[in-house]
Amino acid sequence: MADVKKIATRESYGNALAELGDKYDNLYVLDADLAAATKTGIFKKKFPDRHFDCGIAEANMMGVAAGLAATGKIPFASTFAMFAAGRAFEQVRNSIGYPHLNVKIGATHAGISVGEDGATHQCNEDIALMRTIPGMVIINPADDVEARAAVEAAVKYVGPVYMRFGRLAVPVFNDPATYKFELGKGIKLADGEDIAIIATGLMVNEAIEAEKELRANGINATVINIHTIKPIDEDIIVEAAKKTGLVLTVEEHSVIGGLGSAVADVLCTKCPTKLIKIGVNDEFGHSGPAAMLLKEFGLSAENIVKTATQAVKNK
């Protein structure tokens, strides 16, 4: 694994914006004094006249984004997930969601992998919050290739989009030559009959690694990457549930309201199936290196293997 390239999806976000800036001249970027961290600084360097710093004032930034969108621009409002979905929740709901404006929210530093900054900045609630806003599209890309493609898909889609990016450099496992991003469509990465592992974001790579080990141990898992959490791909989830009769969701987010809940919503109405969730349980994180935190909170291939093996045994 040593030769696998690692890139943080926030970096992909900044690079994608800089690339797309050439193609879409009505694309503008807003930031709240975090351009260096959200990586919109890459865009700013290339298009200084199309990048507007709003200062440390996220509520106003969301309103400004709404005003830009209402007058025909495509604004990307960027800040940490904690402030985009958390602090500015009501502005996103009322000034962006309700009028269904074409605002793209680039939320970086999502999840526990923020690391050393600790619980105040580790946003494990953003997917849950954004899911409740009618008409909000939520994308949680898994690697650099997917993140870049997601940003372009967000530009092409007309309406509000929440994109979730991470701080931590993560393996690039998708092949840019063959990868195709389809908004609202899950991607099947492995096809097995014993258990369906449905993962999103940084946990997709862990699921892939877990599947290999499970297979070596005689357990065949289906692995699905759900990059678009809303609208969710119901068909791929129902099909996997029917085939395996056992579903395990994995996300770097609270087990309350995130991917696991979204999958549960689909299953309980369309195909009642036993569901186990791996995610951040009902607790706050704390400081520490990202890799150690992910391991500690069970967000690892190792824990997926352990949980899946037990679940298959109890089937």
Partner 1 sequence: MDAKLKKQLEITACKVRLGIIEGVYNAKSGHPGGSLSIADTLTYLYFAKMNVYPDKPDEKDRDRFVLSKGHTAPALYSVLANRGFFSVEELKSLRHIGAMLQGHPCITIPGVDMSSGSLGQGISVACGMALSAKISNDTYKVYTILGDGEIQEGQVWEAAMFAAHYKLDNLVAVVDNNGLQIDGNIKDVMSPYPIVDKFRAFGWHVIEMDAHDFDSIEAAFNEAESICGQPVAIIQKSVKGKGVSFMENNVSWHGTAPNTEQYEQAKAELEAALKALEA
Q: Which C-beta is closer to partner 1: that of 99 or that of 176?
A: 99
Cα angle 135, 266, 252 (rounded to 5 degrees) comes to 75
Choose, by CB under 8 A, the member of 17, 27, 35, 65 that binds partner 1: 65
Choose, by CB under 8 A, the member of 4, 36, 45, 99 that binds partner 1: 99
134 near partner 1, rule: CB under 8 A: no
Choose, by CB under 8 A, the member of 35, 68, 240, 278 that binds partner 1: 68
CA distance linking residue 71 with residue 74, whole number of Å: 9
Count of residues near partner 1 by CB under 8 A: 29
98 near partner 1, rule: CB under 8 A: yes
| Residue among 43, 158, 167, 32 nearest 103 (CA) | 158
**The one segment of 87-95, 139-147, 173-181, 229-237 that binds partner 1 by CB under 8 A:** 87-95
Rounded to a whole number of angstroms, the minimum distance from the CB of residue 101 to partner 1 is 8
270: helix, strand or coil: helix
Take residue 169 and report the two structure tokens written for it.
């450099």
Choose, by CB under 8 A, the member of 95, 108, 113, 225 that binds partner 1: 95
232: helix, strand or coil: coil
146 annotated active-site? no
Cα angle 266, 211, 260 (rounded to 5 degrees) comes to 25
The amino acid that residue 10 corresponds to is R
Set 58, 125, 211, 234: catalytic member: 58
Rounded to a whole number of angstroms, the minimum distance from the CB of residue 183 to partner 1 is 24
Q: Which C-beta is closer to partner 1: that of 55 or that of 176?
A: 55
Rounded to a whole number of angstroms, the minimum distance from the CB of residue 88 to partner 1 is 9
Q: What are phi and psi of 4, to 5 degrees?
A: -75, 130
119: helix, strand or coil: coil
Answer yes or no: are the C-beta atoms of 24 and 74 closer than 8 Å.
yes
Helix ranges (DSSP H) in 4-157: 9-23, 35-38, 41-46, 58-70, 81, 89-91, 126-131, 144-156
Q: Which C-beta is closer to partner 1: that of 94 or that of 220?
A: 94
Rounded to a whole number of angstroms, the minimum distance from the CB of residue 87 to partner 1 is 11
Choose, by CB under 8 A, the member of 24, 37, 94, 231 that binds partner 1: 94
Take residue 9 and report the two structure tokens written for it.
């999806």
Cα angle 198, 185, 281 (rounded to 5 degrees) comes to 30
Q: What is the CA radius of gyration of the chain?
A: 19
Q: Which C-beta is closer to partner 1: that of 77 or that of 196?
A: 77
91 near partner 1, rule: CB under 8 A: yes
Q: Which C-beta is closer to partner 1: that of 90 or that of 116?
A: 90
**Near partner 1 in 10-49, by CB under 8 A:** 28, 49
The amino acid that residue 225 corresponds to is N
β-strand partners of 223:
190, 197
Which residues are marked as active site? 58
Interface contacts to partner 1, rule CB under 8 A: 28, 49-50, 52, 54-55, 57, 59-73, 75, 90-91, 94-95, 98-99
